[in-house]
């Protein structure tokens, strides 16, 4: 039992009670926000930290649902989603798991519940997660008043027919339409909003998306992804996208609360650095994404290695720099992970490169690093939620000039961009050195990023954007109705 009460507490023991209480407060905030905030909307990799997650689920039960409501210390402003009150909304998820798509749909479910909509959830696919996770996720929804039905039962069909709005989440959820609704498909299509978060070739199958042209609308997380879908559906499948709305995501209130709580941040900073064996004054560059070639951890490590060489060659006076890779999963990407680790040991970087397993709780890492690296390759991120989360923590971003990242950051102001692919290795290593040697620049960029988040990437911004789309879909449905 010696060190049992967890390092969070141990680091605090020397300090005073008021701090303790603050810490506990911020911890409960952390617990509450765990699930809602942190994942990358485009990544399909599930993010595991089951232990934490389930504990959080229990916390929630005790806390009841109030804390969601009176949470906002700003002046009460009308919720842009208020018009959804008493509307019946059916959410169709392709799976129930701790991965980006389903968690985002759950976030929408809770936003709708907050304004008094009736929300029904169905999961179309077989379970991929353990029973514990499914149970915990379903429970979380039931606690917030979301009804959970079987995807294939009569209840689901009746709900689809009665609903004011049906949200299909991800391309794959399209299979549900024919499989379950059968002869009713045409009646339901006009009120379907199809929410798409992916930019990968294998989604362009008629089997999934053949009804796309006739739905009420499509909602996509970035312009890059929307253009990609428009082009690909036309070129590959010969179908036309419906009215398509780009909706950039926003940070949850819970994440912002931690990001803006100095004490919480400091505690997390010290705790995480201690656990990684990194000194407080060292500089940490972190890439937080599920480990896979598409996310570019290999190229980042090459850049990092080049930076170490540059610093040594030029005899630059900088604190020791570290690379942290959060999102490791030895079981899923064994070959790639082994390659990364071999690269580290071949270049004697063991003391400078740290691997952290996949986790839902990215806030502690965001609180304890100096720079976020977003190195997604090829078409880049579809949106890349970790980018706005990092900016909330006043971190500068070193990102690939691709995909949604370009729609979030301002090159030179909040971020320094480098090309995707091998030609990005040297530019990224130069940017690493630039930020390592220039404290002023680093801090200013972080501040500018934070300001940008406050201007456009908060939960209420996202709610406003979603509200506009939902209004359009309801209108569209009404028109169809009066025409027929």
Ligand X SMILES: *[C@@H]1O[C@H](CO)[C@@H](O)[C@H](O)[C@H]1NC(C)=O
- Closest approach of Cβ 411 to ligand X, in Å? 4
- 204/343 with CB nearer ligand X: 204
- Closest approach of Cβ 231 to ligand X, in Å? 4
The residues that touch ligand X, with contacts defined as CB under 6 A, are 231, 235, 329-331, 357, 401, 411-412, 417
- Closest approach of Cβ 331 to ligand X, in Å? 5
- Closest approach of Cβ 427 to ligand X, in Å? 8
Q: How far apart are the first and last CA of the chain?
A: 71
- 236/468 with CB nearer ligand X: 236
- Closest approach of Cβ 237 to ligand X, in Å? 11
Strand, helix or coil for residue 398: strand
388-416 in b/e burial notation, b at 16+ Cβ within 10 A?
bbbbbbbbbbbbbbbbbbbbbbeeeebbb
- Long-range interactions of 131-137: CB distance < 8 A, separation 24+: 132/50, 132/54, 133/50, 133/53, 133/54, 133/97, 133/98, 134/96, 136/53, 136/54, 136/57, 137/96, 137/97, 137/98, 137/102, 137/106
| DSSP H or E stretch at residue 308 | helix 297-313
- Closest approach of Cβ 228 to ligand X, in Å? 7
- 235/313 with CB nearer ligand X: 235
- 235/440 with CB nearer ligand X: 235
- Closest approach of Cβ 426 to ligand X, in Å? 13
How far is Cα 95 from Cα 173, in angstroms, rounded to an integer? 9
- 330/443 with CB nearer ligand X: 330
- 223/460 with CB nearer ligand X: 223
- 107/329 with CB nearer ligand X: 329
- Per DSSP (E only), the strands in 26-183 are 88-93, 118-123, 147-150, 165-169
Give the tokens for residue 279: 């000194």
- Closest approach of Cβ 46 to ligand X, in Å? 13
Q: What residues have CB less than 8 Å from 422, skipping those under 6 apart? A: 299
C-alpha distances (whole Å) from 237 to each of 117, 213, 371, 376 are: 36, 11, 41, 27
- 412/421 with CB nearer ligand X: 412
């Amino acid at each position: 039992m010696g060190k049992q009460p967890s390092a969070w507490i141990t680091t605090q023991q020397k300090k005073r009670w008021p701090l303790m209480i603050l810490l506990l407060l911020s911890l409960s905030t952390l617990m509450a926000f765990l699930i809602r905030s942190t994942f990358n909307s485009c990544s399909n990799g599930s993010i595991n930290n089951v232990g934490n997650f389930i504990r959080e689920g229990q916390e929630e039960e005790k806390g009841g649902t109030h804390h969601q409501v009176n949470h906002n210390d700003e002046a009460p402003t009308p919720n842009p989603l208020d018009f959804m009150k008493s509307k019946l909304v059916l959410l169709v998820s392709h799976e129930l798991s701790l991965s980006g798509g389903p968690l985002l749909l759950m976030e929408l479910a809770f936003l709708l519940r907050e304004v008094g909509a009736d929300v029904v959830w169905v999961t179309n696919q077989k379970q991929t997660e353990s029973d514990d996770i499914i149970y915990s996720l379903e429970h979380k929804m039931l606690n917030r008043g979301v009804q959970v039905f079987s995807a294939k039962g009569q209840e689901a069909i009746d709900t689809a027919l009665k609903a004011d709005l049906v949200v299909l989440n991800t391309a794959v959820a399209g299979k549900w339409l024919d499989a379950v609704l059968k002869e009713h498909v045409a009646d339901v299509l006009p009120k379907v909003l199809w929410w798409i978060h992916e930019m990968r070739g294998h989604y362009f199958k008629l089997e999934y998306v053949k009804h796309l042209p006739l739905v009420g609308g499509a909602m996509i997380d970035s312009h890059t992804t929307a253009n990609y879908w428009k082009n690909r559906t036309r070129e590959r499948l010969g179908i036309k996208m419906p009215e398509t709305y780009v909706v950039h995501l926003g940070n949850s209130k819970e994440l912002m609360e931690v990001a803006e709580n100095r004490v919480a941040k400091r505690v997390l900073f010290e705790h995480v650095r201690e656990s990684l064996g990194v000194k407080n004054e060292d500089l940490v560059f972190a890439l937080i994404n599920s480990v896979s070639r598409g996310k570019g951890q290999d190229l980042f490590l090459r850049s990092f290695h080049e930076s170490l060489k540059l610093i040594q060659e030029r005899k630059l006076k900088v604190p020791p720099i570290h690379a942290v890779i959060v999102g490791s999963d030895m079981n899923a990407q064994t070959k790639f992970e082994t390659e990364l680790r071999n690269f580290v040991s071949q270049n004697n970087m063991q003391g400078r490169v740290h691997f952290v397993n996949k986790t839902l709780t990215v806030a502690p890492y965001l609180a304890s690093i100096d720079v976020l690296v977003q190195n997604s390759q090829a078409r880049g991120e579809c949106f890349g939620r970790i980018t706005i989360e990092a900016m909330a923590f006043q971190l500068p971003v070193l990102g690939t000039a691709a995909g949604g990242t370009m729609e979030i950051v301002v090159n030179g102001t909040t971020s320094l961009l480098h090309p995707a692919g091998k030609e990005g290795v040297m530019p990224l290593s130069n940017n690493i050195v630039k930020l390592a040697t220039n404290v002023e620049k680093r801090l200013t960029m972080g501040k500018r990023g934070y300001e940008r988040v406050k201007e456009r990437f908060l939960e209420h911004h996202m709610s406003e954007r979603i509200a506009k789309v939902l209004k359009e879909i309801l209108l569209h449905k009404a028109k169809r109705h009066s025409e027929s």
